[in-house]
Amino acid sequence: MYRIHADIRLGRLYAEGRGFWGNDVSRDYRQGVSEAFRSLARYHSRIEIFADFGAFAPQGQSQIDFHLDHSEERSLLTVTRHALVTSSALVRLQLKRALNDFGATHFDDVPSALAWLGWDSTELDRLRDQCPWLPASCPEAQDWRRLRE
């Protein structure tokens, strides 16, 4: 098990684990994070990500877990759906920022980032039904998805 620490307040991402302990991969999210995940995925099938919200966390909650599954080589990141369903506006905003920061800095919205990460249209539609606060997807997501493949 590896742990990726996303410090939302500083906008930085740290990877902890064999060969990545304390490394700051925030210099270039698109390149650094992708390389880190690809390398880690060679050794472990599951990577845990948590975002530290510090004082911004609701009701004393200090972190939220994101579980990433690397068992499928076709997908760089597969984020579990439950991490996106929350009732706190602050956490929703921070989660959106976290997804954009560590996965898809080109995109202004979560659905675009998730499309880039491999979510299909059915999953995105279901997510929009569950989370009406998500903005509409942007067309660049499909272009980046094709480039990634």
Question: Tokens 């004082």 sit at which residue?
Answer: 55
Q: Containing domain of residue 71, as a range?
A: 2-148
Contact 7/16 with Cβ under 8 angstroms? no
Count of domains for the chain: 1
pLDDT at 120: 65
pLDDT at 129: 64
Q: What's the CA gap between 148 and 133, in Å, rounded?
A: 28
pLDDT at 138: 41
Mean pLDDT split into 10-residue runs, the chain, 149 residues = 37 35 36 46 41 36 36 32 33 47 48 58 65 47 44
pLDDT at 111: 59
pLDDT at 122: 73
pLDDT at 128: 62
Q: What's the CA gap between 56 and 71, in Å, rounded?
A: 33
Neighbour order of strands in the sheet with 2-7: 23-24, 12-16, 2-7, 46-52, 63-69
